[in-house]
Structure 1
């Protein structure tokens, strides 16, 4: 028997880090798939408002709520965020926990307290706090799906990224532990762990140095934000009895976090398949 995939037509979804990259791409896909309400959370209000206007214009019946929030600086607010939402947005069915960053490529003996605090607070503390707050409501209502966007760095290590790697290993472990905690409920928990995705990630990591950021993706066909959004949508639309636990995704010419075959655009490009 083939069970039907789940429709998102009556679902309310929250996407963090929605102003760019994977978060923005995921918000667009959720709108296309028929989510009736989207909560768009990020720091940059102007980008969120522009995305809200665009999505509502293109999708009849869609309502978007912009939540401007710096998750690292507003932890108490994050931990209580569901209580501040308007009633029509409060019953979140899908949480895409995507906000995160890396800072620099310091060795373990050169990490600064400021960078350690910013990375761990953004990538771990805020993500866990928001997940816990939203999962309580999901459990009470008897439905919901948590998707944590991790990284290949949450599965394999490399030199020059110890704090970021630690943060993504924490997300991998939390996601697995949450799945154990919720095994007796209808809730589902998924981790999506991408390799190199060309977004603003490297630009942030290298402090706005565009040349360094561009070099990360030089001479190979990396993943796009839309690729990861596609995997998220796949996970959340499986039949209710199917739980996609982990998706680890790499570009065709990548085999590990720093293991990239820079063979140019001829291999792995969509038009070569």
Structure 2
């Protein structure tokens, strides 16, 4: 398939985890990919190791709407025809009951997982609508549906993502633009390490005795949504490790990271 034959895909949170792997998979499948994230070094490495040369690194913070707008307006001409948006950027900070939670952690999750998603969608979606066809895939989490100890605000932000996805479907009826939500369970990326403020040992302990999902699994789910015929809209894909139960937590151990998106 010729480079860019399938149009341009914008992937947020592309510097690691689900976003990084999704950018790689879509580039391989014939998209030109705008890889959007804050970490310039990681984005450069992603582009340099792209065998087909289809990934454009764009440094921006989804929480900064003005900066994001400037970055999108400076895309090279070859990257103007945006047909796909993968809203992946997000994060989780801290565990614990609401009554002892940290307001700075709440604010960071809300600003990234909710406001950041709205910023990217608000700036990219009009371009997709104008072309008369395309697809938005929002990365949610099973935490939106199944409560777990200490997951209060993070889970609520993901419930927002799920509900927004459904309402976007209504808003976009008749435009030719489809909307899907992919909701992963436990997955081993940098996500848990970010949640634990870089404590790798604590993050790795979450996956003891269980084979978690991989970034590849989630990227392939995104790809499958995009690959369906235009008459088909995949509203939701929920995927979990075979060994994960719905309670999201294990007796005598810290609550399991529920799965979700990667750092902005």
* TM-score (norm. length: structure 1): 0.87
Deviation at 1:11, TM superposition (A): 1.4
Does structure 2 conserve the Cα–Cα contact (< 8 Å) formed by 1:15 and 1:27? yes
Does structure 1 conserve the Cα–Cα contact (< 8 Å) formed by 2:94 and 2:195? yes
Moved more, 8-17 or 88-97: 8-17
Aligned CA RMSD, in angstroms, stands at 1.9
Which residue is equivalent to 2:81? 91
Aligned: 1:63 with 2:59: no
The alignment of Structure 1 onto Structure 2 pairs a total of residues equal to 250
Deviation at 1:81, TM superposition (A): 4.9
Give structure 2 stretches of 5+ with no counterpart: 252-264
Q: Which has the higher contact order (CA 8 A, sep 6+)?
A: 2
Deviation at 1:63, TM superposition (A): 3.2
CA 1:8–1:150 in 2, change beyond 3 Å: closer, same or farther?
farther
Within 5 Å, give how 1:87-166 maps onto structure 2. Answer: 87-166=77-156
Which residue is equivalent to 2:18? 22
CA 1:8–1:187 in 2, change beyond 3 Å: closer, same or farther?
farther
Quick one: distance in 2 between partners of 1:101 and 1:196?
14
Quick one: distance in 1 between partners of 2:78 and 2:100?
47
Give structure 1 stretches of 5+ with no counterpart: 1-6, 262-273
Aligned: 1:221 with 2:216: no
Which residue is equivalent to 1:42? 37
Quick one: distance in 2 between partners of 1:131 and 1:216?
32
Within 5 Å, give how 1:202-241 maps onto structure 2. Answer: 202-241=192-231
Which residue is equivalent to 1:265? none
Q: Which has the larger radius of gyration?
A: 1
